[in-house]
Chains A and B, each alone.
Chain A
Amino acid sequence: MKTIIIGAGPAGVKAAETLREEDKKHEIIMLSSEPYPPYSPPAMVQYFLTGEALHYWRGQDFPELNNIDYRQGCHVVSVSPDMNEIELESGEKLTYDYLVIAAGSRLYTPVEGSDKKGIHNFKSLKAGDELLAKVRSGEVSSALIVGAGFIGVEVALMLKKMELDVTMLVRSRVMRSMLDPETSTFVQCILEDREVKILRGDDADAVAFPGDNAARAVQMKSGKELTADLLVAATGLKPNIEFLSGSGIETDWGVFVDQYLCTNMPNIYAAGDITETFDRLTGERYSHANYPNAITQGNLAGLNILGYGLVYDGSENMNSMKHLDVPVIAAGLMEGEEIRLHRNGSLRKLWVKDNKLVGCRLAGDITGAGIFINLIKRGVDISPIRDNLSEPNFCYTHIHDTALMDNVIPS
């Protein structure tokens, strides 16, 4: 059996690892568009700040150790499912028995002129290397960041630690899709405490990158222009699905998969940021791009290729920002009845709907996050501890006392 894995991010690596663990003879080819060994995106900031190569988290010799034919700097231009064949940029054609599409996502900037030179991003190690080369050259002293999502905040804090003058352009509010207004303000205060300048409103709504060849500034909705030595876009993510056009593989925003993470072609699976799966809580089609989802999907795709026929539970909407000393954990929805605790500079917000915990946002003190997220995942009836959820000392003992424990075991 021969499997080709397109992409060497967490999803691709986990799929390869699972295949190798279960089947020593399986032939595995792994294609990476970047010129590096497989790396872990969440560890990039640490690498750039301290130089510790923790982002090569499975080791730089991962391909050799696992007997994987690893090809870096390799772009796939087309997939022909009827021939079981893919074509590379070099013209080379490779055949497969199974294909795993784990090509990930890239920066998505719905701003005019976003394809111009001089606009940096932090979505890949290559982009990060370019950004950091510029910072280390000593030519830059200020940075302008468009977008205040997860990656935007990450880049802002990283550049601030490198002693740049950092300004963020925020159209609505900081980390809008993940946080409620109050927690969002909490994060904004942390950023402002660290002397990151935050501009909001029409004066900060980027509509274009003016400039002839290279972008020289950012133009706002109000017509005002702002510039800095370093322009960084962190406006959103988009699955890398272009190479699949014409292949017959069903895509929309991302690659459609069924409950087994299989595409509409029986021997082609997809995992990671590129997939459009369903949300575990709402069942809605969605692409929650985070590390835990990528690992779970990569593992499941690997197992299902080997014929286990395991069903995917749905992707989880959760994230944490602690590595840059912003203790924030967000998971699930922000609707229903709100339970709020603001104490000692920490904020804990929980949302309850139909006696079930559906979401949590913790900032400052993140103790209890694991319990809340597990209650959310399991969808258990929380009425026995409903009144205790707002107590500052809520802890695992409450779960034990009410015998909710039986329902709160790891999946």
Chain B
Amino acid sequence: MKTVFVQPDRCVGCKQCEVACAVEHSQSKNLYQAVFESPKPKPRIFVGPGIYLNSSFPNKCRHCNPAPCMAVCPTSAIKRTEDNEIVLIDGDKCINCAMCAMVCPFDVIRYYNSIEAIRKRVVALKCDHCVARQQDGLEPACVEVCKVSALLFGDINELAQKASSKLARIVSEIDTAVSKEPLHLPDHLEAWRSWGKSASKLAKK
């Protein structure tokens, strides 16, 4: 199963994924035309601030299985694709009741006028894993545009394996105390993190 994997420690909160997502879900698929479109295209990924001045997290639909939003939709507008990978909302069936937003533990469903619904009415919008792009063999727009590899796209098993072997390496290196070098994030990320921590401390005083 292919999915978008989030590495939150790498996110710098630049919001480029939000822009790319909105453009991808616009009619023109072009940034300069998209801003003049009506209804205005909206992102389905949300980068918000956290408790530290520089913490951020690219928050998007996890395509849960079982999906709570799908269970509570009173018009069966929320369905899973046949290969069971992606949870999609059918705008034509959505009645904008917000039951899905009530049960989504990640808060990734928003309500806007949509070109995907009849009469462009207000319906529930959320990440569709860029199904159209995937059919063309492309990765989701947010992943393509992410400059710090906070978003990765790939087979969930392979990504999980990579992450676990990275963790195993870190644990064994701490254990044997050979070298702590590989533990470090790239310098620019390390600098960004420590700036955030000290700035947050100052702000609290």
> Do chains A and B stick together as partners?
yes
User: A residues near B, CB below 8 A?
Assistant: 10, 40-43, 45-46, 54-55, 57-58, 291-292, 295-296, 299, 318, 320, 322-323, 325, 327, 329, 331, 366-371, 373-374, 384-385, 388, 393, 395-398, 400-402, 408-411
Closest 9 CB pairs of A and B: A395-B48, A397-B50, A322-B98, A370-B104, A42-B74, A401-B50, A374-B105, A397-B57, A320-B98
Q: What are 12 A-B contacts with C-beta separation under 8 Å? A: A40-B75, A54-B75, A291-B72, A291-B99, A320-B98, A325-B122, A369-B98, A395-B46, A396-B106, A397-B47, A401-B57, A410-B66
Residue B103 is within 8 A (CB to CB) of chain A in the complex: yes
Tell me, rounded to whole Å, the shortest Cβ–Cβ distance linking A385 to chain B: 7
Measured between alpha carbons, how far is A368 from B165 in the docked complex, in Å? Answer: 35
A42 to B66, CA, bound (A): 22
The answer for the CA separation of A408 and B104 in the assembled complex, in Å, is 10
Cα-based distance from A148 to B47 in the complex (angstroms): 39
B171 within 8 A of A: no
Interchain CB contact under 8 A, B57 and A370: no
- Residue among B64, B96, B98 with most chain A CB within 10 A: B98
- Segment of B14-22, B107-115, B138-146, B148-156 in the binding face: B107-115
Could you tell me the dominant secondary structure of chain A's interface residues?
helix
B51–A385 CB distance below 8 A = yes
CB distance from B172 to the nearest CB of A (A): 24
**Interface presence of B93 (CB below 8 A):** yes
A397–B105 CB distance below 8 A:
no
A-B contacts counted at CB < 8 A amount to: 127
Asked if A410 contacts B68 (CB within 8 A), the reply is: yes
Given the contacts A370-B107, A397-B56, A402-B51, A329 and B102 also touching, CB distance less than 8 Å = yes
Task: Please name 18 further chain A to chain B contacts, defined as beta carbons within 8 Å, in addition to the given A397-B49, A397-B55, A410-B67, sorted by A numbering.
Answer: A10-B74, A42-B74, A42-B97, A55-B75, A291-B74, A322-B97, A329-B98, A329-B102, A370-B101, A370-B104, A371-B107, A384-B51, A395-B46, A396-B108, A397-B57, A398-B51, A402-B51, A410-B105
B59 near A: Cβ within 8 Å? Answer: yes
Tell me the smallest distance from the CB of B4 to a CB of chain A, in Å. 15
> For the complex, what is the distance from the CA of A105 to the CA of B177, rounded to whole Å?
67
The CA of A375 and the CA of B76, in the complex, are separated in Å by: 26
**A41 nearest CB neighbor, chain B only:** B74
Contact A367 B98 (CB under 8 A): no
Q: Does B131 contact A (CB under 8 A)?
A: no
Task: State A384–B50 Cα separation when bound (angstroms).
Answer: 12
Q: Which residues of A contact B103 (CB under 8 A)?
A: 292, 370, 373, 410
Write out the residue numbers on chain A whose beta carbons fall within 8 Å of the beta carbon of B50: 395, 397-398, 400-401
Output the least CB separation between B123 and chain A (Å): 11
